[in-house]
């Protein structure tokens, strides 16, 4: 077994003796190293000088090349991904990127500062020793003004707990611990080895919050309290959606979600023009997941242009798309057959109306859904994103004819958009309809401090349209403050708020670490005072996403 050391900092080469130091990572060069008699080799990435997004891509590229070269050489390997300090390096971006290619790491070890580099961590404050021996807090040194590597805090506990543990959602890697370090400053090898044994925390711990389940409305069907949103999985070339993960990256995430107890998966036939459904079906077959152990939810209304990257906007039931969308009996039956084929299953647990079709009578829609239930192709029905009066009209049309009624409603609902509370949620509670809201963290706005908005959050058209209130900054700041007091991530707190409302949020999870971390929300207790603190600054908004 060869050891491959991947380091983001040129100074790491000072610790290398009698092994190759590579500054290139093409597969031919790596294969030559694997086929030699060496015990290992060192790859110098210098990724610390790159922006976070580029650093992630570089780590993925290297890990993929190492994996392929080792396979060609018939060698097994252990990879050690070593990065600069948490105050200056890309943590946890780089290890998360490596996990996406190579699978879960055996453990993550944070060993921030050592005396040999004149860097000392004393009572949580990182100091740098000057040439004359004076200790200067890191944020007051010239390093803090270095644009590529700048940092603004000297307190390690505050730095890690806030932008990393909360925003990046890595809490679950070390459950119950604000951070993991080697206490004091360590120099001797034996002492270091002992500290590794005592302080390095494996990710496979019994302290993860186990998944919880609840009935979907008044039905007998139980769903996981956190529902996996599968719009993230499909075709990255699907128009306007470069963030989507392709099959090879999506499959391990579906397996991980299942292993974590997130057994309810929600998608739509139109997501990536059917690719999302196809990948879900492949995951069930690839990992031999019993069909009875998962709840599959899908939606219909929009056209599915199989084999195409196009995303018709706006879509119209005319021309080349005539009868390829909407809620006519013909399209409902055709869409269900297509979903069953792509999912590789004989039934859909919950079939949802993606949007309302104003051109089709409620009687035609509800009778078609009822017939599918009676045929056994659909077990329950739900709806998504419509006005309460429209939903009530469909529900009571079914009741008057003794047809199958709705079990779930999926609407835009989160701390920044609460218009569903006016009519839809009270109606659903009265009717025994379960709530499965989408966009529970408001397109990322509730996952990070307001000052850390991304380019997407600043420029995204839907974000600007849906979350218009001047109160947003105040609410996000309150989420940040309460999350700090509860030692949890902001996103977990936002999810916990929804679960406190008896909703099962649909959550997009695009990495192993996020799937592991999301269960943190299940263990967060919110008092009546907490709820008031989060809710009292909300102001009415115009209805959106109908």
Residues with catalytic roles: 271
Q: 299: closest CA among 359, 350, 358? A: 350
Burial 507-517 (b: 16+ CB within 10 A, else e): bbbbbbbbbbb
H helical segments located in 145-268? 156-159, 189-199, 247-259
Strand-pairing partners, residue 77, are 2
Q: What is the dihedral of CA 110, 111, 113, 116, to 10 degrees?
A: -160
* Segment holding 415, helix H or strand E: none
Tokens standing for residue 124: 């949580």
Question: Distance (Å, rounded) from C-alpha 433 to C-alpha 383?
Answer: 10
Determine how many CB atoms are found less than 10 A away from the CB of residue 248.
Answer: 10
Tokens standing for residue 225: 């309290």
Strand-pairing partners, residue 223, are 214
- Report DSSP state, residue 459: H
Strand-pairing partners, residue 412, are 438
Tokens standing for residue 186: 């360590």
Phi, psi values for residue 107, rounded to 5°:
-165, 160
Strand-pairing partners, residue 107, are 202
Most distant CA atoms of the chain, gap in Å: 87
Contact 533, 479 (CB under 8 A): no
Question: Distance (Å, rounded) from C-alpha 161 to C-alpha 280?
Answer: 35
H helical segments located in 188-274? 189-199, 247-259
Q: Beta strand pairing status for 119-122 and 125-129? A: antiparallel
List the Cα angle 231/462/500 in 5-degree steps. 65
Place of tokens 């929804």: 498
Secondary structure string (H, E, C) spanning 92-138: CHHHHHHHHHHCCCCEECCCCCCHHHCEEEECCEEEEECCCCCEEEH
């Amino acid at each position: 077994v060869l050891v491959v050391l991947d380091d983001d900092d040129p100074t790491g080469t000072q610790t290398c003796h009698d092994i190759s130091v590579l500054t290139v990572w093409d597969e031919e060069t790596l294969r030559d190293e694997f086929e030699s008699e060496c015990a290992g080799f060192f790859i110098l990435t210098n990724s610390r000088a790159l922006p976070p997004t580029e650093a992630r891509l570089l780590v993925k590229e290297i890990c993929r090349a190492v994996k392929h070269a080792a396979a060609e050489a018939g060698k097994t390997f252990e990879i050690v991904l070593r990065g600069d300090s948490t105050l200056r390096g890309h943590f946890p971006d780089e290890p998360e990127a490596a996990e996406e290619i190579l699978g879960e790491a055996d453990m993550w070890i944070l060993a921030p500062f050592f005396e040999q580099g004149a860097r000392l961590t004393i009572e949580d404050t990182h100091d740098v020793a000057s040439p004359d021996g004076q200790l200067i807090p890191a944020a007051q040194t010239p390093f803090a003004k270095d644009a590529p590597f700048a940092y603004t805090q000297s307190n390690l506990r505050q730095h890690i707990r806030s932008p990393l543990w909360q925003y990046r959602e890595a809490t679950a890697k070390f459950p119950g611990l604000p951070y993991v370090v080697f206490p004091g400053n360590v120099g001797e090898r034996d002492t270091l080895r002992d500290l590794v044994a005592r302080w390095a925390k494996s990710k496979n711990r019994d302290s993860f919050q186990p998944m919880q389940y609840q009935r979907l409305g008044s039905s007998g069907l139980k769903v996981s309290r956190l529902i996996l949103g599968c719009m993230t999985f499909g075709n990255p070339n699907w128009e306007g959606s470069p963030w989507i993960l392709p099959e090879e990256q999506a499959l391990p995430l579906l397996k991980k979600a299942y292993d974590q107890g997130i057994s309810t998966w929600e998608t739509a036939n139109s997501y990536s023009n059917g690719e999302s459904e196809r990948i879900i079906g492949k995951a069930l077959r690839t990992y031999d997941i019993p069909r009875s152990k998962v709840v599959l939810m899908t939606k219909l209304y929009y056209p599915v242009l199989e084999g195409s990257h196009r995303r018709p906007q706006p879509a119209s039931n005319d021309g080349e798309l005539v009868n390829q969308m909407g809620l006519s009996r013909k399209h409902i039956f055709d869409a269900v057959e297509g979903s069953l084929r792509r999912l590789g299953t004989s039934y859909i647990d919950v079939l949802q109306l993606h949007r309302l079709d104003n051109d089709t009578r409620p009687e035609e829609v509800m009778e078609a859904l009822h017939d599918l239930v009676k045929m056994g192709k659909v077990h329950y029905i739900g709806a998504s994103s419509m006005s309460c009066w429209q939903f009530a009209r469909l529900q009571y049309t079914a009741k008057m004819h003794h047809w199958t009624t709705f079990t779930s409603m999926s609407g835009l609902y989160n701390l920044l958009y609460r218009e569903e509370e006016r009519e839809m949620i009270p109606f659903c509670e009265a009717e025994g309809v379960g709530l499965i809201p989408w966009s529970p963290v408001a397109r990322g706005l509730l996952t990070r401090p307001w000052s850390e908005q991304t380019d997407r959050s600043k420029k995204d058209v839907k974000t600007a349209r849906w979350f218009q209130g001047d109160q947003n900054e105040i609410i996000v700041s309150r989420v940040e403050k309460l999350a700090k007091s509860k030692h949890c991530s902001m996103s977990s707190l936002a999810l916990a708020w929804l679960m406190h409302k008896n909703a099962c949020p649909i959550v997009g999870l695009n990495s192993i670490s996020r799937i592991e971390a999301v269960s943190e929300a299940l263990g967060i207790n919110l008092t009546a005072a907490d709820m008031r603190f989060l809710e009292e600054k909300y102001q009415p908004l115009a209805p959106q996403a109908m």
